[in-house]
Every structure is written in structure tokens, then in C-alpha cells.
Amino acid sequence: MDQIVDITTDGRHLSKVRGFLKISEGGTETTKRIPLDQVAGVIVHAHGTTWSNSLLTELAARGVPVVLCGSNHAPRAVLMPLEGHHAQGRRIRAQWQAKRPLLKQIWKQVIVAKVDMQAASLEAMGESSAVLRMMIRKVTSGDSNNIEAQAARYYWPRMMGEDFRRCTEGRDENALLNYGYTILRAATARAVVAAGLHPCIGVHHSSGGNAFALADDLMEPFRPLVDCAVRQLSADNGTQVDSVAKQTLARLIATDVPFGEGVTPVSVALTKLATSLGQSFETGKPVLALPRPPDALTLVGLGR
């Protein structure tokens, strides 16, 4: 099963030993070994962390991102490989040359899926979702009416409480959300590179300073899964980003979501979504493989 390796204790050394990622204390005593085939991402929060070059090159060869975080648990840098898919050159050319109408249709599909997931999440929490259901019908090409922002204004007070304000620098639930989104972003970035796409060429997010604009685009429909988990964590465990919270949020990439005619883990769904996007760029037809919301019982259970 895919694992997110989270380094939170100061002074750890990361290295490669045969087919394992080894975590050592003080450079000598081994604290843990994890099969490299199971590593989906490495997230580093701790000070004084060191690593071997052989480990970083091995992680790059496997398409595994290494995320460096600030004190608020938001990512500050991400290390990703230069090479990914066997058709990377062709895919990236198609991605770069994609016409605006195609990008707008793709973004419409992403926003419809995101608002649908938000609506299902509110329903699972016993909140009304009728307004969001009506908004879904109003999403246009490129989301020209900015339904995403309208939905967010309705969604957040009902998901996190009337006094909640989403702020990446906030401490309360925002720190938990930052951490959960960082895990999701790392898994999405890995899927993007594995699909032969370039993470900095976004469909909608296009900030010149964002090296992972495409990952930010594709993770949007999955964000409400993090929100559900954070709501439950806050109620049961408080808002501190402790070991319980980290382990709980790291497990989200293994959550099964309805996909096609069956279910698949979030990490696999992200890979299928990124692959379908690459194919859409090449064919010029916007056909994305997007997840459907899990059942209410699954959504309520996230964070426990």
C-alpha cells in the first residue's frame, strides 16, 4: 500500500539501503525502514534533516516527490524528477499547445466534480446541500461565473463553522487543512509526472511562481475529503497537528472513492485522472476520468 513518509523529528538522516528508505537518528541508529516501492511521497517538517544523494535520485527515478514544509505545514519547495512517462515529450508539447477552449472545458469538468464532492460532504455531515446542487447546473466553460468561489462561500461556514475563515497562515483548523492538502498535493504531483505531464503548466492555476500549478488544478475535486477528515479530527482531537492527526490525514490517499464501475484508492484515482488529462491534451477532446463522491458513511468516517 502507498505510504506518505512524514519526517517530523529533528536530526533524522534519510538514506537508501538496498530497496528500502532508511530513517536513522544521529546518522547511525536505524529507527525505521520502508520499502521504496511503497513510498508515495516524503514530507519533511523537521529541522536538521539530512539525506543521501542516492536516496534522492532513487526517489526521483520512481516519481516520488519530496516536499519541504514551513512551520505552518504548507509546502515551501517540492523536489520532482525531470523524466517521467515514456511519451513525456509528446505529452508536454500537447499540454503546452492546448487551445483555450479545451482548457476551459477541462476546468468546467473539474469544478463540477469539486462542487459535487462538496455537496456530498455537507450532506454526510447533516448540512443542507441544495444550494450547491443548484450551482453545479450553472457551471459554464472555464467557470466564467466563478461558481467555485460562490460555492466556497456557502460551503466553508457549514463545513467548519460560521466563524471559520480559510487562511493558509492560520493556526486552528487551517494548519490541519494545510497538512492534509500538502499530502494530497504530493500524491497529485507524482501522478502528474507519471502521466508524462509538466506540473508547472496549469489548466487554470497559472501563477508564475507556482511550480505545481497542474497538481493544484487536479487535486481540487479531492479537497473535500481532507475537509471532512479535518472536521472530525478537530471535534475528536482538537486542532493541533500532532502524530494522530498526521497519521490520520496520511491515510486519506488510501481512501476508496467510486470510480468508473467500481472503487479505487485516491492515489490510483489521481493517476487515472492525470492520465486521462494527458490523453485529452493529445486528442483535443476534454474527457476526464473523475471520481464520484463516496457514500455518506465513508465521508463521516474520515478523520477517525
pLDDT string in tens for the chain (304-residue length)? 578 898 888 889 999 998 999 999 865 677 789 999 999 889 888 888 999 999 999 998 888 888 888 776 777 777 877 665 556 778 889 999 999 999 999 999 999 999 999 999 999 999 999 999 999 999 999 999 999 999 999 999 999 999 999 988 877 899 999 999 999 998 898 888 888 888 889 999 875 567 789 999 999 999 999 999 999 999 999 999 998 999 899 999 999 999 988 999 999 999 999 999 999 999 999 999 999 999 999 999 999 8
Picking from 46, 42, 45, the residue whose alpha carbon sits closest to that of residue 34 is: 42
d(CA 201, CA 278): 12
d(CA 148, CA 107): 11
- Confidence at residue 83, expressed as pLDDT on a 0 to 100 scale: 62
CB-based contact 247:258 (threshold 8 Å): no
Residue with cell 489548466: 203
Picking from 77, 7, 4, the residue whose alpha carbon sits closest to that of residue 49 is: 7
Residue 255 cell numbers, joined = 481512501
CB-based contact 205:216 (threshold 8 Å): yes
- Confidence at residue 28, expressed as pLDDT on a 0 to 100 scale: 66
- Confidence at residue 136, expressed as pLDDT on a 0 to 100 scale: 98
d(CA 280, CA 251): 30
> What is the Cα Rg of the chain in Å?
19
